Structure 1
């Protein structure tokens, strides 16, 4: 089985062997993440932008989560794994949440240091931390995927489950993390990489057909999809009643979108190049793209330059800009410059030696019972 680093990571932990398929998938996925955020301001006034947005959001976040789950360890965490939870997730979250708080304050907002409410894209770091902690316990159960689906659907009915510590998204997207872990247990990578080209292209034709059909459905029904508020379902960050779905069958919509996303994840991975490409190496730096692309898009989001109707060229222009941002943020000089923020080693914080394992507690001998009165 091929061991690789998680998809949201830099290159601090070199591996003996990397599979180009997964580095390609990681970079293409992060590009979709950037595009989705870049075109958000356009969807209110443009049906074309909204169609592109729904197409991307129907699978790109589930895909990002599934790729993370593929590389997650399901065994009992050792000291090294616990260290990496802190250095790869907790520390970057604290650093960037602090920076975002300062940015909002410098731009005239209220200074409110609240680490329970993740700023913009930082929700994923909290969710990934929880998923990694949960996975070893989930896989002890007989049907972890079905259980995670039930948790996801059920959480959508509970209004009290909100964005505090990104709990709603953590539970809502949990099935995709478990699905990614299952893909590795099924050893699909080795099977896919050993298929001959003829069989590969037959599967790819099927994948392209699925994506084409999805695009057609979205384009032909864009007004109905706006009215149904499908976008709110695709974000997995609210209870159904909060956007008008207080019926018992609301969970069925989430289930249907979830099953569609499972199929689209598989279709997307079939279309990813199996061999090295010009962007394979860039796939090792997706953490940097993830954390910094929102900084570059922030001015466009907040200045109002994209508000209101826009010329037709703006949408493809934002797509091109997103690809360029992903390329630049994947370059070595960015990783070298910002590594202390993104991948802090924090050696000063950890023990030099592991703590001893807890053994059997030996209680001191009890005092003899008092003598019976004569």
Structure 2
């Protein structure tokens, strides 16, 4: 494990970074005690995007992963919860100044700031969740000391699309996103393919609204649970959709409001985490959730770094390696068809063995 610590230069940087952070939020928290009997001097740190660690989605799962990894390593950890994009660079500077050995950044919005920090600090190991660190779009990472952790969620979303097409009573299902980033549209692409596969194989007419593919779809323009998120969900429901997939962290809360206001029997599909478990307010509405096993993959990457086994090769979660999946139907078990789960198991195996192709920016 690393035992060195940055001294005079780091202290100077800390003063500058702390001053910058004073204008945009609190400085990264003090060390969090892992309660281990034997302390490690390895220090992992985690920076959220603007969604915060209580987003009941990918920030929260990644944060829990760092907590568990620190506990396993017997180390402290530091965290900073961003309020907006202006926090990213100063928070990373502050992490560097405080001697962080591995820095976890959560979400594609942090990619540019992470790359800049990684290039300036090649002796620090970076773990970037949900982005390839390829801001030049040339097919290669922009910094060698970054480990991208990615998820081919199109595979799991395909299963969700199949389930939605089987469940719908109106013959219309819908989706909308926060912004048309690849890590958002990959859900929508897989969902669309699953709906179309079901319709073709069952000979049924099921319509998808909100997404045509190739960045043509309905988006809120951000990732906040605001009036725009609610109105966008209403736009989908007004097209007779009775299953809705919001993709973009907290924007699903707008769908909850829209569903309540509609008075209709509408089912929600969650993303990233199992909404039934992370947000009890969804339990009567959530049909299933498209899962990214972010907590486990974060734990594994941080523990490897702490043990001196950091591997900068990209990790891609799939159905085959359990990096992505579909949550149980929970309260909807009695509402789905008797054959749906067996059909989904068969489709999943087809995706794994390649007999049912699912295309995405990670697989094409």
Question: TM-score, with normalisation over the residues of structure 1?
Answer: 0.23
Larger RCO (CA within 8 A; separation ≥ 6) = 1
TM-score (norm 2): 0.24
Q: Which has the larger radius of gyration?
A: 1
Report which of the two has the higher share of strand.
Answer: 2
